[in-house]
Amino acid sequence: MSPPDPNSLEPSSPHELGVRAQSLLVVLGSISDDPTHLTRLYLSPSHRRAADFVGDWMRTAGLKTSMDALGTVRGSLDATSPGPNAGRRLLIGSHIDTVTNAGSYDGTAGVVIGILAVDEIRRRGIKLPFGIDVLAFGDEEGVRFPTTLLSSSAIAGTITAEMLLKSDRDGVSVRKALMDFGCDPDKIDEAAYDRDEVLGYLEVHIEQGPVLEHEKLPLGVVTSIAGQTRFKCIVLGEAGHAGTSPMGLRRDALAASAEIMGEIERFAREGREHSLVATVGQLIVSPGAVNVVPARVDFSLDVRAATDQPRLDAIAAIRTAAREIAERRHVAVMIESYHESQTTPCATHLQDGFASGIERLGLPVLRLTSGAGHDGHAVQHLTDVGMLFVRCRGGISHNPKEFAEPDDLGLAVEALVGAIEHLAGHFGGDS
């Protein structure tokens, strides 16, 4: 932040808000587990440092901070005007973990924009008939552990102690990592909100796709978040000598995996009209030597579509094809699902809140779906979800080239303030 004077009540222009958002994102973008690029995995030392910065910024914005059992940083502001919902809270959140070799905007932009919006509400003296909690989640990307959305699932009350027993590649369990982070994994129940305590959940996120840029618009209202399923796949063949094993007698786990992956891609291409996409992003080949026929392949699979049925149909087709290929090649195949999020519709009144914030800026309102997954997938089990997208350059994300214009970030802060004011009208009376 161009260090904001905590006592100042001077409102800021969208341009100033954008410059401030950008400067905070530069700070978070420099906090990495790897000095050569941005990688900030859940519960890593860099996640801890980023959480500390976010907590400081929340306090500067006038929020009371705490950290829950899953490492989510929470900044709370109490209602400033009376009413039937004065004891309830509007949640605003996104995540501060990243993928490997990430960009600086995915998730973090939403956290920073949430903090600046609440700061701006305080500076403008806007009275709110409900409290606000700004949340900086940790496990949105699901890259370190074979889990995803743990922190947002915890606030929705949908995680169990068994989920914390999953381990990363180094054998460190979520439970152990939480303790090292300074959290108490035995208090997961306390992380859950009461359904009656919450009015809704708003998230601002970069689009991670090209639609807004193509339409020459800085902001858009999300109508739904695509459902997704993630799998651990294992193909087991038999190791053999690369020089002496005849091609027809091999049980090559990698050749079989490659054929399965070809089918996965074919099914996804055929489902284009449903925005079906399927990705194999991780591959481990064992024993992994130049002169040994591969005995085992572990690979990941992520399948998404705009609605649930085409995704479920594609998964069934992939399973059948994999079984046939495995039988023909005399290998074994296991495809185990470890995460499933249904398509998440965004609530109409929260869409309207963001639309009103955009209209107040004199901009047209474009509505679009999200192909990327978000914490809203988990939060939908607690409360209504609304999302605002911010244009990002070239639609590029999960890539160090990720970029959003500071002015667009400033407009997003302003649109979030507008949405909160709209909801203050909506929830101010009896609801």
Amino acid residing at 237:
G
* Between 90 and 372, CB nearer to ligand GLV: 372
From ligand GLV, Mn ion, none, which one binds at residue 209 (CB under 5 to 8 Å depending on kind)? none
Choice between 132 and 390, CB closer to ligand GLV: 390
Q: Closest separation between CB of residue 31 and ligand GLV, Å?
A: 18
Q: With binding defined as CB under 6 A, does residue 372 bind ligand GLV? A: yes
Of the candidates 177, 99, 175, the residue with the CA atom closest to the CA atom of residue 143: 99
CA angle 85, 86, 90 (to 5 degrees): 70
**Smallest distance from ligand GLV to CB 371, Å:** 8
The residue (of 106 and 120) whose beta carbon lies closer to ligand GLV is 106
Nearest alpha carbon to residue 159 among 343, 385, 378: 378
Buried b (16+ CB within 10 A) or exposed e, 278-303: bebeeeebeeeeeeebbbbbbbbbbb
State yes or no: 141 annotated in a binding site: yes
Q: Find the binding residues for ligand GLV in span 26-45 (CB under 6 A).
A: none
Q: State which residue, 58 or 102, has the beta carbon closest to ligand GLV.
A: 102
Contact stretch for Mn ion (CB under 5 A) within 22-30, 98-106, 172-180, 335-343:
98-106
85 is in an annotated binding site: no
Helix/strand/coil (H, E, C) string of 314-359?
HHHHHHHHHHHHHHHHCCEEEEEEEEEECCEECCHHHHHHHHHHHH
Q: Which of 29, 71, 107, 271 binds Mn ion (CB under 5 A)?
A: 107
Binding mask 139-178 for ligand GLV (x = CB under 6 A): --x-------------------------------------
Structure tokens given for 415: 């649109």
Block residue for tokens 């925005």: 275
Q: Which residue is nearest to ligand GLV (CB)?
A: 373
3-state secondary structure of 94: strand
**Least distance in angstroms from the C-beta of 374 to ligand GLV:** 7
Strands (E), 193-293: 198-206, 219-225, 227-236, 240-241, 277-279, 283-286, 292-293
Q: Least distance to Mn ion from the beta carbon of 283, Å?
A: 20
Instruction: With beta carbons less than 8 A apart as the criterion, state whether 154 and 95 touch.
Output: no
Is 205 annotated as ligand-binding? Answer: yes
Rounded (10°) CA dihedral 412, 417, 418, 424: 150
- The CA-atom distances, in angstroms, between 63 and each of 9, 60, 120, 181 are 15, 7, 12, 22
Residue of 68, 106, 119, 384 that binds Mn ion (CB under 5 A) = 106
Is 367 labeled as ligand-binding? no
Residue with smaller CB distance to ligand GLV, 22 or 341: 341
Inter-helix orientation angle 406-428/108-123, to 10°: 60
DSSP H or E stretch at residue 64 = strand 64-67
310 binds, among ligand GLV, Mn ion, none (CB under 5 to 8 A by kind): none
C-alpha distances (whole Å) from 254 to each of 101, 228, 244, 326, 335 are 26, 26, 18, 11, 15
Give least dist CB 391 to ligand GLV, A.
17
Which of ligand GLV, Mn ion, none sits in contact with 200, Cβ below 5 to 8 A by type?
A: none
The residue among 373 and 410 lying less far from ligand GLV, judged by its C-beta, is 373
* Residue 373 sits in the site that holds ligand GLV (CB under 6 A): yes
* Least distance to ligand GLV, CB of residue 372, Å: 4
Q: Which stretch binds Mn ion (CB under 5 A): 100-108, 219-227, 341-349, 382-390?
A: 100-108
- Contact residues: Mn ion, CB under 5 A: 106-107
Task: Name the binding residues for allantoate.
Answer: 230, 291, 304
- Contact residues: ligand GLV, CB under 6 A: 141, 372-373
